[in-house]
């Protein structure tokens, strides 16, 4: 991670007190004084998670925190390094969306979602080195003005769709949405949208980074933006959501437009929020890797046909990715609400917010 740096600080991590000292340093860095409380809180969370991981898996290590500048961009590098047992399968570790006792419930995948650039190097017996760079949002002085400019527009926008590829009979739908905060939080950092629009339905599942009040303060406005933007093209909606998220903790999201007359679903997603269909011809959508407000890839709009008795699910990474088609087939004869409740009960993680949207198709 190249870039000129100054005012760096290094901490030897051997106890929880050492982690707290490293976290406290984030709020005292002169180079960060002008930035928002959201940015500082997010950086502190990353330091705390990486420090906790060092203690849990290696017993001791080091964390280095330093400002970084590149052109007009300013940010912070956080490097966590230890000489512990290392990670046998880095890819598998990054797919784990929960943490065991002793960490904050984010895991390395959660840290990756909260930063702009992320790299991990590890092997069995060779320790672990995590490099995380966070390009900072606007300063507190300018953030309120910028946020006002990014509020959703209430004026109609073009929603033209490409020509239909088939003349499927018009479908009707049974719908449900469900959200559950991560214990012991009272506010959920996930949000969902199920809304009727001209020609069909607009669905969304949003997972703001982290948990609790800070995540909730991003997830709910994003859901309102989806409801009021008067846009049905998933890629355009994600672009608007990304602009809104700049300077916040960021979020993952999946957006789908269901054209009832065409029997077709259009989908695009960014981050670890998923969509899949259980039916005669099962399918799963593919979200682009990134974070709204941080790393925004060009959304890939995918199209899927819909048929009677198909069950489509949109769900956050608080629902286990391993939830099986076999289990879903057992419950797909129930109502959409019954399916959503079953998915939450049987597939959710206790260490994360969880949300699910269920669309059941019928003639």
**pLDDT for 72:** 66
SS3 73: strand
**pLDDT for 135:** 79
Residues 110 and 252 in one domain: no
Q: Is residue 35 part of a domain?
A: yes
Q: Is residue 150 part of a domain?
A: no
Q: Is residue 23 part of a domain?
A: yes
**pLDDT for 222:** 95
pLDDT of residue 85 exceeding 70: yes
Report, as an integer, the average pLDDT of 97-109.
Answer: 51
Residues 112 and 167 in one domain: no
Neighbours of 160 (CB within 10 A): 6
pLDDT of residue 177 exceeding 80: yes
Residues 167 and 240 in one domain: yes
Residues 178 and 136 in one domain: no
Q: What is the CATH number of the domain that holds 76?
A: 3.30.565.10
Which of these ranges, 22-26, 101-105, 147-151, 186-190, has the smallest mean pLDDT?
Answer: 147-151
**pLDDT for 169:** 57
Q: Is residue 152 part of a domain?
A: no
Q: Is residue 269 part of a domain?
A: yes
Examine the fold and report which residue of 111, 141, 171 is the final residue of a domain before the chain moves on. 141
Q: What confidence category does residue 363 fall into, taking pLDDT thresholds of 50, 70 and 90?
A: confident
pLDDT of residue 249 exceeding 80: yes
Q: Which contacts of 338-345 are long-range, i.e. CB under 8 A and separated by 24 or more positions?
A: 339/176, 339/311, 339/313, 340/176, 340/177, 340/178, 341/178, 343/313, 343/315, 343/319, 344/178, 344/180, 344/319
Q: Give the Å distances, CA to CA, from 253 to 33, 72, 121, 290.
A: 31, 29, 28, 10
pLDDT of residue 225 exceeding 90: yes
* Two structure tokens written together for 74: 């300013």
Examine the fold and report which residue of 108, 141, 174 is the final residue of a domain before the chain moves on. 141
Residues 135 and 184 in one domain: no
**pLDDT for 183:** 85
Which of these ranges, 55-59, 99-103, 105-109, 242-246, has the smallest mean pLDDT?
Answer: 99-103
Residues 164 and 310 in one domain: yes
Residues 58 and 178 in one domain: no
Question: Cβ(189)–Cβ(212) under 8 Å?
Answer: yes
Dump pLDDT digits (tens) for 314-358: 999 999 877 766 677 777 778 999 999 988 888 888 889 999 999
**pLDDT for 159:** 35
Alpha-carbon distance 190 to 62, whole Å? 33
Residue 238 domain boundaries: 160-362
Residues 43 and 175 in one domain: no
pLDDT of residue 2 exceeding 60: no
β-pairing verdict for 73-82 and 4-5: unpaired
Q: What confidence category does residue 98 fall into, taking pLDDT thresholds of 50, 70 and 90?
A: very low
pLDDT of residue 92 exceeding 80: no
Alpha-carbon distance 314 to 256, whole Å? 9
Dump pLDDT digits (tens) for 252-286: 999 999 998 889 999 999 998 999 998 878 899 99
**pLDDT for 44:** 84
Residues 247 and 334 in one domain: yes
Question: Cβ(53)–Cβ(45) under 8 Å?
Answer: no
**pLDDT for 38:** 65
Locate tokens 């500082």: which residue? 40
Q: What is the CATH number of the domain that holds 254?
A: 3.60.40.10
Report, as an integer, the average pLDDT of 144-148.
Answer: 36
**pLDDT for 37:** 66
Q: Is residue 220 part of a domain?
A: yes
Domains identified in the chain, total number: 2
pLDDT-above-90 percentage for the chain: 44
**Average pLDDT of the chain, as a whole number:** 82
DSSP class of 332: T
Q: For residue 328, what are the contacts with CB-CB under 8 A and spacing of at least 6?
A: 278, 311, 313, 339, 343
Residues 102 and 36 in one domain: yes
Dump pLDDT digits (tens) for 49-66: 899 999 999 999 999 999
Report, as an integer, the average pLDDT of 213-224.
Answer: 93
Neighbours of 318 (CB within 10 A): 29
pLDDT of residue 160 exceeding 70: no
Q: Is residue 155 part of a domain?
A: no
Residues 94 and 230 in one domain: no
**pLDDT for 55:** 93
pLDDT of residue 170 exceeding 60: yes
Q: What confidence category does residue 156 fall into, taking pLDDT thresholds of 50, 70 and 90?
A: very low
Of residues 109 and 82, which shows the higher confidence score? 82
Q: Is residue 153 part of a domain?
A: no
Residues 168 and 123 in one domain: no
């Amino acid at each position: 991670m190249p870039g000129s740096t100054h005012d760096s600080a290094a901490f030897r991590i051997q106890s929880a007190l050492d982690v707290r000292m490293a976290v406290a340093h984030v709020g005292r860095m002169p180079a960060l004084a002008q930035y928002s409380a959201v940015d500082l809180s997010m950086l502190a969370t990353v330091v705390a998670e990486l420090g906790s991981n060092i203690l849990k898996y290696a017993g001791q290590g080091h964390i280095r925190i330093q400002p970084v500048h590149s052109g007009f961009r300013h940010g912070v590098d956080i490097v966590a390094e230890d000489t512990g047992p290392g990670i046998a399968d880095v890819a598998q570790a990054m797919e784990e969306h929960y943490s065991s006792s002793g960490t904050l419930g984010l895991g390395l995948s959660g840290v990756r979602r909260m930063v702009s650039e992320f790299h991990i190097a590890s092997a069995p017996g060779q320790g672990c080195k995590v490099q995380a760079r966070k390009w900072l949002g606007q300063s507190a002085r300018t953030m309120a003005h910028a946020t006002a400019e990014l509020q959703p527009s209430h004026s109609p926008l073009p929603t033209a769709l490409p020509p239909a590829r088939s003349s499927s009979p018009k479908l009707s739908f049974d719908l449900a949405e469900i959200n559950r905060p991560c214990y012991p939080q009272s506010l959920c950092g996930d949000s969902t949208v199920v809304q009727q629009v001209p020609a069909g339905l607009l669905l969304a599942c949003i997972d703001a980074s982290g948990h609790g009040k800070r995540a909730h303060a991003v997830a709910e406005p994003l859901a309102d933006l989806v409801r009021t933007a008067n846009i049905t093209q998933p890629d355009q909606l994600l672009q608007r959501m990304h602009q809104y998220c700049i300077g916040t903790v960021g979020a993952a999201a999946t957006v789908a437009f269901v054209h009832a007359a065409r029997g077709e679903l259009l989908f695009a997603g960014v981050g670890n929020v998923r969509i899949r269909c259980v039916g005669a011809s099962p399918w799963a959508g593919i979200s682009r890797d990134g974070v709204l407000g941080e790393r925004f890839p060009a959304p890939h709009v995918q199209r899927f046909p819909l048929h009677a008795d198909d069950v489509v699910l949109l769900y956050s990474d608080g629902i286990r990715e391993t939830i099986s088609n076999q289990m879903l087939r057992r419950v797909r004869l129930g109502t959409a609400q019954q399916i959503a409740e079953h998915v939450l009960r049987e597939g959710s993680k206790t260490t994360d917010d969880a949300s699910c949207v269920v669309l059941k198709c019928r003639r």
